[in-house]
Amino acid sequence: MELIIIGSGTGVPSLLRASPAILVKIENTHLLMDTGPGTLRQLLKANIHFSKIDIILYTHLHPDHVADLVHFLFAAKNEPQFRRNRPVSILGPKGFLDFYEKLKMAYGEWVVVSEEKAILSEVPPYEKIIKNNILINTFPTFHTENSQGYRIEAGGRVLAYSGDAEETDTLVSLARGADIFICEASFPQKVSGHLTPAIAGRIAKEAGCRCLILTHLYPECDRANPVAKCRTQYDGPLIIAQDLLRIKL
């Protein structure tokens, strides 16, 4: 299993951090979590063409996490080399298919692809699904009404991704014993619907995860020394996400 931080930032334009996107490579499968604006271009910087993606998981439907879905569908429809042995599985929380219907109202046939290329579907919270021998568990995160994080298990390794979240016992369950917990740490001080580095550290400590990666950092959080703030709660292995950072598990 290999992790690539495609975008470690937010919806605020930044030369330091691209919008949220996390890629996980498991044997021959490329799994992408969230596609903020510019994700397809960021993938190219990681030497990954978008046609290589097998699974896309969406945590919620805010623009900074889902904007490049339009780009993905448009490019898949028009790229003659986008040929697949099996369709891309594109999964989102409750409301995802209604969101897609509204995209079709806005963009028409430009975002409609054949089922040979991609299949869009919803996956509810507390669901366990298997794709390409990868176990995917969903947990509600309470950032929005239907937001959810993902716990990925394959080859004896566990990776957990919070997406945007509130501090809850459910989030601790999501991260429990994970080899890597990728957790949002948006602001230095608590903002409703988001976490801070200190809160992320507290969750990681309670969950007993083996390594914590802080991501989704707004500029004010970068300026406020997120490492020092996290260390008030957590003394385990800690990484501040950077775009195109690669980690092998």
| pTM of the predicted structure, to 2 decimals | 0.97
Residues sharing a CB contact under 8 Å with residue 188, sequence separation 6 or more, in sequence order: 196, 197, 220, 221, 224, 226, 229
Hey, what domains does the chain have and what are their CATH numbers?
A: 2-248 (3.60.15.10)
What DSSP state is assigned to residue 13?
-
Q: Round the average pLDDT of the chain to a whole number and report it.
A: 97
Phi and psi torsions of 114, nearest 5°: -70, 160
More confident residue, 204 or 79: 204
C-alpha dihedral over 66, 53, 179, 170, to 10 degrees? 40
What residue has token string 């601790």?
A: 172
Check residue 18 and report its DSSP letter. P
**Contact in structure between 55 and 133 (CB atoms under 8 Å):** no
What pLDDT, on the 0 to 100 scale, is given for residue 83? 86
Given a contact cutoff of 8 angstroms between Cβ atoms, the answer to whether 241 and 8 are in contact is yes
pLDDT digits (tens, 9 = 90+) for 116-137: 999 999 999 999 999 999 999 9
181-199 pLDDT per residue, tens:
999 999 999 999 999 999 9
